[in-house]
């Protein structure tokens, strides 16, 4: 009895001692969050952090407590005020979704419930499987396929490529390792393939050289004849062609490989057909443009990215595998302490049998809530809207003599640059980079840059449900203004 009472006195918890105080502060945080999103247009896309803010992040590790109100005001001042900017309507850098409020509530509730999606018999586990089922349906995969929610497209691709390696290895790679593979495997992708595939090949023990980059045509799509030739050449010298990676929407220009041709070729050559659909797989739900990704449903595996065109708050990716048992055989190593029981908490599915993580967050909720609220059809229309906006921007660029389109616009990525009469490629690069940086520093818009067919250019990737056509018109007006400004400064030098 005595020891029990003693223990009571010293028991500590992370729960607040006064819930009423926390409640009031939490309401304020929600109010601030709503204002933050509502007034997003009034703020710059991005701004540089002053030295005091940078210094804030060098503060020593806190040993003593602070009030949650003080902690929150530090976050508001030094973190919330300096975002990356991808939720802003004029953010078109790299390739990112723009999040959504309902998804943020989903993340909050997921953390409040705190469930671990390694598996087990609880509602979050069922919802995780349901969201995977919805993703299968979106891309036209059969109900018998399997899948898993992961951190993003890079992990989703590595899941697909791991299954491909194990299925095509001709040896039990899981047990014996890559050294047991009788003939070196070869994977194929276009020269526009995302860099995560290189990392995957390295991590899989196959090595970067085992991923052959196939040249692309003028539209930056994989040259299927060149692929055929590469496969024949590799077979002749004793390699085993194992997998072709088709890209549905390259990160550089949005090009979509001929998925039907690749599916047919893979079937004829007995290759695994993986589609990197991080950008474009979800075009399958867009009524105006879905034919662009016809053939994706024939893949053996697909990587897609709900944190891109479904605008889920980071992180959320999804890997789908047509052959569910090949998927499970690649990853399942369930130990005894995690074995299922006939009833109770452990009687559910072990979701960790489909990937590399053991503990898994409740990513499904933020996706599920936004899909339920808006319906899949609206997400499809928003994808069509971004593609229409990219076509609008393309038309404006083509009509403006000072600007030059640098790659065909297939979907929502536009590659272009400001011209500069008689300037070398090197000067053009410096000139356009300066325009891009001023656009960012003045908080007007965020673009990124890239190289297409060996030439530098700027790039607008419109994966943004907040963008309006007039935002794109403003971008071009500001680019022309900055173009004059930068040219004048150069002449003055």
Residues that bind ligand PLP (CB under 6 A): 95, 152-154, 157, 194, 196, 247, 251, 276, 278-279, 305, 317
CA dihedral (338, 159, 283, 272) positive or negative: negative
CB of 88 to ligand PLP, least distance (A): 19
CB of 490 to ligand PLP, least distance (A): 35
Residue with Cβ nearer ligand PLP (88 or 194) = 194
Residue with Cβ nearer ligand PLP (115 or 412) = 412
Report the alpha-carbon distance of residue 367 to residue 309 in Å, rounded. 11
CB of 235 to ligand PLP, least distance (A): 28
CB of 274 to ligand PLP, least distance (A): 11
Residue with Cβ nearer ligand PLP (157 or 450) = 157
Left (φ > 0), alpha (ψ -120 to 50) or beta: where does 153 sit? alpha
Q: How far is CA 2 from CA 7, 10, 13, 48, in A?
A: 9, 13, 21, 59
Sole residue written with tokens 């250019």? 457
**Burial degree of 25 (CB within 10 A; 0-12, 13-18, 19+):** middle
Residue with Cβ nearer ligand PLP (95 or 188) = 95
Residue with Cβ nearer ligand PLP (120 or 277) = 277
Q: Please report, to the nearest 10 degrees, the dihedral formed by the alpha carbons of residues 433, 436, 437, 442 taken in order.
A: 160
CB of 427 to ligand PLP, least distance (A): 30
DSSP assignment of 10-47? H---SS-S-HHHHHHHHHHHHHHHHHHHHTGGGS-S--
Buried-exposed string 298-333: b where 16+ CB fall within 10 A, e elsewhere: bbbbbbbbbbbbbbbbbbbbbbbbbbeebbbebbee
Residue with Cβ nearer ligand PLP (169 or 302) = 302
CB-nearest residue to ligand PLP: 153
CB of 268 to ligand PLP, least distance (A): 25
């Amino acid at each position: 009895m005595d020891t029990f009472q003693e223990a009571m006195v010293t028991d500590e918890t992370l729960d607040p001692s006064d819930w009423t105080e926390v409640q009031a502060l939490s309401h304020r945080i929600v109010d601030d969050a709503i204002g933050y999103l509502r007034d997003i247009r009034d703020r710059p896309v991005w701004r540089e952090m002053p030295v005091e803010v940078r210094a804030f992040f060098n503060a020593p590790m806190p040993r003593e407590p602070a009030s949650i109100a003080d902690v929150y005001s530090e976050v508001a001042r030094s973190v919330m005020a300096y975002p990356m900017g991808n939720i802003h309507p004029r953010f078109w850098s790299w390739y990112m979704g723009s999040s959504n409020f309902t998804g943020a509530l989903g993340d909050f509730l997921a953390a409040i419930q705190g469930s671990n999606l390694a598996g087990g018999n609880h509602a979050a586990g069922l919802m995780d499987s349901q969201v995977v089922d919805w993703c299968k349906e979106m891309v036209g995969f059969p109900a018998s396929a399997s899948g898993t929610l992961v951190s993003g497209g890079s992990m989703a691709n590595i899941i697909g490529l791991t299954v491909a390696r194990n299925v095509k290895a001709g040896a039990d790679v899981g047990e014996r390792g890559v050294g047991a593979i009788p003939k070196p495997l070869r994977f194929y992708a276009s020269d526009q393939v995302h860099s995560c595939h290189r990392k995957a090949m390295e991590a899989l023990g196959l090595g970067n050289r085992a991923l052959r980059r196939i040249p692309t045509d003028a539209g930056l799509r994989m040259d299927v004849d060149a692929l055929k030739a590469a496969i024949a050449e590799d077979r002749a010298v004793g390699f085993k062609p194992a997998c072709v990676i088709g890209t549905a929407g390259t990160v550089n220009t949005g090009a979509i490989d001929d998925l039907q041709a690749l599916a047919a070729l893979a079937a004829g050559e007995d290759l695994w057909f993986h589609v990197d659909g991080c950008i474009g797989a979800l075009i399958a739900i867009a009524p105006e443009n879905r034919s662009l990704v016809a053939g994706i449903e024939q893949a053996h595996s697909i990587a897609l990215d709900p944190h891109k065109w479904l605008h889920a708050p980071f992180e959320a990716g999804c890997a789908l595998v047509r052959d569910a048992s090949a998927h499970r055989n690649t990853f399942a190593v369930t130990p005894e302490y995690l074995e299922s029981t006939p009833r109770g908490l452990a009687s559910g599915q072990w979701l960790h049998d489909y990937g590399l993580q053991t503990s898994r967050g409740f990513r499904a909720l933020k996706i599920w809530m936004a899909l339920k609220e808006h319906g899949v059809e609206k997400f499809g229309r928003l994808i069509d809207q971004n593609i229409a906006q990219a076509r609008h921007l393309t038309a404006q660029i083509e009509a403006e003599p000072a600007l030059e389109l640098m790659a065909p616009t297939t979907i929502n990525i536009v590659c272009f640059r400001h011209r500069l009469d008689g300037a070398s490629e090197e000067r053009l690069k410096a000139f356009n980079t300066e325009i891009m940086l001023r656009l960012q520093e003045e908080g007007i818009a965020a673009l990124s840059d890239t190289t297409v067919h060996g030439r530098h250019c700027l790039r607008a990737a419109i994966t943004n449900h907040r963008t309006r056509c007039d935002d794109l018109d403003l971008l071009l007006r500001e680019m022309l203004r900055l173009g004059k400004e930068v040219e004048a400064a150069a002449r003055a030098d």
